[in-house]
Structure 1
């Protein structure tokens, strides 16, 4: 008896159809946005608006020029920790059977009342990275304000908003604004950096702290004012924001003068040489290696230095 022809499972077709439809829809929307932006730029009003607000808001007269070496190092550690925080956060969120557990020994300088709680090795790694990221951020903010570099990423006038709108139109039209990040970020960059440093980062810390074991459990008024459900609802979207920010940031760095931008970010100079690219490549190697080495086999010995590690 001849066998009936086989067909692909319905769920397979459906699984391919949805992301394909989303991708096609996104391309169509982007295409329409480009056409709209180019049409707007052809009008006299928008053309005059861009001429008046080319994209770079005025900075205070004493704003420092260039990026210091300490900022290069802080930038590297920030990227390093964020990548691993996202990786460990995904593991904490979706792993149902952890490959190890960690419990603090309640010895040394920091002690708590009662029996220390056992947490998954993934959560220990996530919290450790969080602490290091916060430490790096505190050092960054202190140096930012003590050296005057804050003036480059904090709006000091209302003109930043029309300049930012001008940059959006220029980017959307694929006729991008002139970049000179060594002296002055464009207004959209400035606002993005401000939101990331002074809004998204503190919210990530506050929501993560609310969800951690360090938050006081016996504080009914505080817990009612700031319920854990609110922290959980915000924490994951904030992580998505950081991922989106990094993706867009890297894309623009590589498409608006890669060598010069990488020298700004990794070599503290405004040249067109390959030094910044070399440091960038080394940083990528270190981050990729850390990504693959962040496994229980390598995490257990490090975690055991801070507490006891068990398999269950």
Structure 2
């Protein structure tokens, strides 16, 4: 190798033989994919979902055209009669409860997702009654919202049973099951059941509301308390009986259930007569006639104002605004 070449080279190897080009920068990733990959995956998933939905609609419409299914839908139209003592209409207090529940739930979901992805908290909060227990300002905000949501829920339950409104969301007959199946078939066939929420919900709605109020909400509370600072840390027997890992495995799926319920609920409110439904819930106006649609915009404008309030709460939920409020109940520090 040290000896000179026995011939004179006649070809220049080029700059590439001596210099390596700088590697191209990696595109920024959002989770497992880049922005372009997310767009492509969203398009493919959307097309696939539309195709699957079309297949479900076609298959359901074929099924309900069969004579046994036609008889089933005639026997169970999608709802059953409530007890004679059941109230008619939605009171004003239910509209306020509905708004407060939506407001707290929106901020709870927002702060809960922040807690999951927060690695370096921007601020910490220490309660006055326990200087050794320090938590991030985001966790304090999340748990404070949980307490407000819990108080609002307790008021809702008391009023629900005192006024008899519980009969609208708690099944009072086993007919709720075949009627819920009937309503599901009608929704899936896009021949939606006629309904009037001012008088009675269809059975599928009733089961959804019952599950949300009496199953999902208690699960969220029980699992949230287990992961919060309110849970006694030194109760070894209680901790072994109810491990925190169980609470973590249940708490997040319950949050996903609430998100799915909110999306479907809002979509159906606007798809099944927006003005009528908004007047029912926000303006306490309605009619016993299932074909009557409210032609005024009172409920809509109240709903629009509530959306602005929720948007303001979403924007204000940041350390600059939260820190002065948190100082009223403890100490806020950078470490």
- TM-score, length-normalised on structure 1? 0.93
**Match of 1:56, SS?**
coil
Select the structure that is richer in helix. 1
User: If you compute each CA radius of gyration, which structure gives the higher value, 1 or 2?
Assistant: 2
Could you tell me which residue of structure 2 aligns to residue 303 of structure 1? 326
Among candidates 57, 64, 81, match of residue 34 of structure 1 = 57
How far the C-alpha of 1:282 sits from its partner, in A, is: 0.2
Among candidates 285, 288, 297, match of residue 311 of structure 2 = 288
Among candidates 224, 230, 236, match of residue 214 of structure 1 = 230
- Contact 1:101–1:309, Cα closer than 8 Å, also in 2: yes
How far the C-alpha of 1:18 sits from its partner, in A, is: 3.4
How far the C-alpha of 1:200 sits from its partner, in A, is: 0.2
Could you tell me which residue of structure 1 aligns to residue 156 of structure 2? 140
Could you tell me which residue of structure 2 aligns to residue 261 of structure 1? 277
- TM-score, length-normalised on structure 2? 0.86
How far the C-alpha of 1:286 sits from its partner, in A, is: 0.2
Change (3 A) 1:153 1:72: same
**Match of 2:280, SS?**
helix
- What CA distance in whole angstroms lies between the structure 2 residues aligned with 1:14 and 1:182? 46
Could you tell me which residue of structure 2 aligns to residue 236 of structure 1? 252
Among candidates 240, 250, 253, match of residue 224 of structure 1 = 240
Could you tell me which residue of structure 1 aligns to residue 93 of structure 2? 70
Please list every run of 5 or more consecutive structure 2 residues that lacks an aligned counterpart in the other structure: 1-14, 16-20, 287-293
Matched, 1:251 2:267: yes
Matches within 5 A, 1:154-165: 154-165=170-181
Matched, 1:191 2:207: yes
Matched, 1:126 2:126: no
**Match of 1:244, SS?**
helix
**Match of 2:322, SS?**
helix
Matches within 5 A, 1:43-122: 43-106=66-129, 115-122=131-138
- What CA distance in whole angstroms lies between the structure 2 residues aligned with 1:256 and 1:15? 32
Change (3 A) 1:115 1:303: closer
How far the C-alpha of 1:215 sits from its partner, in A, is: 0.8
**Match of 2:90, SS?**
coil
Aligned residues: 303
- What CA distance in whole angstroms lies between the structure 1 residues aligned with 2:236 and 2:300? 52
How far the C-alpha of 1:15 sits from its partner, in A, is: 4.1
- What CA distance in whole angstroms lies between the structure 2 residues aligned with 1:259 and 1:253? 9
What's the C-alpha RMSD, in Å, of the aligned pairs? 2.0
